Structure 1
Amino acid sequence: MSWPMPEGAVLGIFGKKPEPGKVKTRLAAEFGSDFAAEAHEAMLLDTLEAWGSDRFLAPGGRRVFVFAPGDAGPWFDPIVPGTLAMQPQSEGDLGARLRSFIEGEFAEGASRVVVIGSDSPTLDPSIVISAFLCLDQKDVVIGPSTDGGYYLIGCRMPVPSLFEGVAWGSAKVLGQTLDRLRGSGRSLAVLPPWYDVDTPDDWRLLGAHVRAMRLSGMDPALRRVEALLPRVLPEAEPR
């Protein structure tokens, strides 16, 4: 049964146009830039399809795909589910773009904002729902990722200091964000750790995770990702 988002709740999904050489460069180091772009596209579109449907979330609240680069709207228009609003990311580093989106949503009347990316396609939907529920009691919610960053961040009011002076793309992101939070005086809820898919080993983990879900009788609902897995992971061939 899908969960009804509270009035004023916003789910933002950040994603980039899948251009070879501009996305998943660490994945490309082993598998090539064309495959890396295909993998990025598969994860992004599977993520948008999942959160744009009523499988996890009932109608209500606001769901928005926040895309980059700013001129990629025409490319995304025909493939993004109509249930998702669309808007371009602002300029600047990831912190500036997150801050701009979150502050913009609160300026438009949001009561809580949760942001995820497209790099964690197996992310348990109950974790995202828990993030919204945590914001009933806490000011900020964070989902730590196994690479030292975070796969989710949410707030019930703007906390601009969270996004300042952070070494984005490094293993220091989570620790530095917590340092900024400590100085803000805001309260924190922490979600279970999860993994992003950025490196060849992450892709192997994703393949094994999807295979395990299938073997256990679960449908991962990642049709594009599953179609790509055997291209570089022969063990992922259906048996």
Structure 2
Amino acid sequence: MLNLPANSKRHLIIFTRYPEPGKTKTRLIPALGTVGAANLQREMTEYTIFQVQELQKAAAISVEVRFAGGDSQLMQDWLGLDLVYQSQGEGDLGSRMARSLFEAFQSGAEQVIIIGTDCPGVNAQILTTAFENLYTFDLVLGPAIDGGYYLIGLRQPIPELFVNIEWGTAQVFQKTVDIAQKINLSHVSLSPLADVDRPEDLSIWEQALAGKM
């Protein structure tokens, strides 16, 4: 059970992986090597958390990091003691996301958003827009240019959105929209953004860093 702050009706879950060489950003290993790919995972996670902390300066939002690989101690040593850490647990991406949403709603959250750390375009403004949309819509999706999504937001657990989907394929976003329409969920899409998954995507990350500098 999560212990959310009493005033926290808006909850943000960050899905990431402990940056262990050889086990993270594997599609980038041919370009960066195992250590370089792990370092990119480390930098992109830190960048995402920086954006989230900017949002927290302006809005009452609780944040939780759901991690794969490593353990809570390694995560604390890496990202500090100010964040809540929880293992993603077993199962495919869909069952891990559905579980994290269910636990957040059980703990009293009324709006829950999940993001990954692969998309440097996710900033405080996009997250603010996503939360605001949850006052009007049942489902908020941030479509990724590769056909997946970089953000999903809900106001109640809807496990149907996470089953019978081939994660990591170009049909994930569309399949999710199809399910939403079938079960009569009102939904809205945010601006499409690019993920950094493959060697040809590295320029997106470089542009994000240049903008931050």
Deviation at 1:188, TM superposition (A): 0.1
Deviation at 1:155, TM superposition (A): 0.1
2: CA distance, partners of 1:84 / 1:25: 26
Opposite residue 50 of structure 1, the aligned amino acid is Q
Q: 1:77 to 1:83 in 2, by over 3 A?
A: closer
2: CA distance, partners of 1:79 / 1:25: 20
2: CA distance, partners of 1:81 / 1:149: 30
1: CA distance, partners of 2:111 / 2:39: 33
**Structure 2 unmatched ranges of 5 or more:** 1-6
2: CA distance, partners of 1:41 / 1:79: 9
Query: Which aligned runs of 4 or more in structure 1 are off by greater than 4 angstroms?
Result: none
Deviation at 1:30, TM superposition (A): 2.1
2: CA distance, partners of 1:164 / 1:124: 28
2: CA distance, partners of 1:88 / 1:7: 21
Question: Is the 2:138–2:155 Cα contact (8 Å) retained in structure 1?
Answer: yes
2: CA distance, partners of 1:50 / 1:125: 6
Deviation at 1:124, TM superposition (A): 2.9
Q: 1:80 to 1:208 in 2, by over 3 A?
A: closer
Q: Percent identity?
A: 34
1: CA distance, partners of 2:45 / 2:147: 21
Q: How does 1:28-107 map to 2 (within 5 A)?
A: 28-51=29-52, 53=53, 55-58=54-57, 60-69=60-69, 72-107=71-106
Opposite residue 10 of structure 1, the aligned amino acid is H
Question: Is the 1:139–1:156 Cα contact (8 Å) retained in structure 2?
Answer: yes
Deviation at 1:109, TM superposition (A): 1.1
- Partner deviation per Cα, 1:135-187 (whole Å, 9 max, x = no partner): 00100000000111000000001111110011101111111111221222111
Q: Give the root-mean-square deviation of aligned CA atoms.
A: 1.7
Largest Rg, 1 or 2: 1
Give 2:173's aligned residue. Answer: 174
Normalised by the length of structure 2, the TM-score is: 0.90
How many matched pairs? 206
2: CA distance, partners of 1:64 / 1:132: 16
**Structure 1 unmatched ranges of 5 or more:** 1-5, 214-219, 222-239
